[in-house]
Structure 1
Amino acid sequence: MFARLHPVLTLAFCACLSLMGCSASAEKNTNAKAVLWKIESANTNPSWLLATVQTPEGHSVEFKPEVEPALLNSRFIGTEYYSDMNSSIQLAQAMVSKDAPLANALGAERYAKITPLLAARGYPANVSAKLHPWAATMLLFSPRQSKENVPMDEYVFQYATETNKPYFALESIEQQLNPFQSIPLARQLILIDAFIANQAALEDAYKKNMAAYIKSDLESIDPLAQFETIALPKAEQAWFKEWRKNHKAKRNQALVERLKTPLGKGDAFFTVSAAQVKGSDGLLAALRGAGYKVSAVSAASKKP
């Protein structure tokens, strides 16, 4: 969800610290092997949903052949949240504090262990010390990335900017952050300890997600569920499972509501993370439940 924060948000953090004084084949289920989906409703042109994935270090991803025609022929382009500099500064302002909350909340030993994990994601020590614990937790749900990699939805945003196509966001900054802000501090520390103890296994899971995405196997991609089973002690898994289920359900409700306008206009192209899209409780199922026709698009049927 948050891999795209890296390219612009690091600059935004620095700004904040300065301010502080420092043809589609029809499918009836979500199990079809596809990353692009055609969304149709009565009396309007179809729109297109691209499932995206976080790209771990050592990997690069090119869009599949079926994606380009949908993107080029779209009139409106959307991503999960605004990717411009103003929004990134707003996001950074919410995530950091001049009081060094992360260093104070974690204690010296835990903080020393988490600092290199955040640095590997592009957040240097002068930034990470000022993160709220929930913000550090959120950032650690993204894999380490190569600096040269442009996240998929960042690329889509750049394309919208360069082509002057109207751009929209599916969520506000507040909606993106609220699920993590709502986690009590004691449980944030549990999550952070789990990240520290299981980095190698989690990075391996991110690489497996990437391999599944290349095969258009969205059903195998679920970073939050993988974190639950790989990293969390059994005694902590129940509340986390309930949290991620509620998080997904609330996001879908908000996304379907926000999508009514662009889908009503037609010819919209938008991105949503693969984990949010997949499954009987995913966005594709929610769109079907709202009355939209949803079909998978394969390379053989790539012409819109």
Structure 2
Amino acid sequence: MSSDVRVREPDARLPVTAGRPIVHGRRHGRRAVVGLGRHLVLIAMSLLLFLPFYWMVISALKTNTQILSPDLQWFPDPITWGNLPAVLSHPGFPFLQMLANSVFYSGAVTIGTVLSSALVGYGFARMRFPGRNLLFAVTMATMMIPSLIIFIPTYVLFRTLGMIGTWAPLIAPQFLGSAFFIFLMRQFFLTVPGELSDAARVDGAGEFRIFWQIMLPLVKPALAVVAVFTWLGTWNDFFGPLVYLSDPDLYPLSMGLFAFQSQRSTEWGLLMAASVLVTLPLIVLFAFTQRYFLRGISLSGIQG
């Protein structure tokens, strides 16, 4: 009795894929383990870097007895909420006045640095003139000069002009540009197609109009990067106000915190509370501008 059922033999031309899901699963498992390990290392490093800030915050909610206790207290018990109001109402630490001074100082320096660096960077990127490359090389070479070397001549200059004790020595030089930010803006302007400038010139636009109305809107990310970096650096500046300012009414928060420390060197709770108040505006600023800050780190090595 013959059967009509035929058993088909496997075609030798078809690829054998029986072992591929297993190999793929093993690779995926190894990648997952490696990724998990990397995340754990990053989390551990983040917690380690966050520890000093956390200790400052909890110290601002402690008394001197709790801070100086030999037993570590990772959470204040009881919480001393009165340190922050005591600092805000302390006559030796006019927080609102110094906050206004810091905002004015940082804002003026940021405006001057952004405008001057963008203007000079545009000139190096788009304008053709004799000695352009040499002048750009000299500008970049100034980054290798330590700031302390030119500090004494700069101080003598402003003292001769009678500007010591005012905002002028701190703000005026920033309107002359910064070498690093000039380089950054130049690299951005080089990425903008030259046809846009040529079309504007054909329509009769001048060089400044091209710069102001066409180029600047196209490099807004670069302007934001320069602004964020400049604001953060100026907000934390201590050496400049220490040298040039003598009137306590002009002190920014960095100087005010130093003066408050000299007055309250033993009251660590109040000092930590003042430090939290000084750091809090930067945290708020970074929360709104972190994407530009991180972009600045990745764009520092851009090539033209």
Instruction: Please tell me the TM-score bracket, short chain as reference.
Output: under 0.3
Q: Which has the higher strand share?
A: 1
Q: Give the greater-gyration-radius structure (CA).
A: 2
**Higher RCO, 1 vs 2 (CA within 8 Å, ≥6 residues apart):** 1
Q: Which has the higher helix share?
A: 2
Give me the TM-score of the superposition, normalised by structure 2. 0.26
Give me the TM-score of the superposition, normalised by structure 1. 0.26
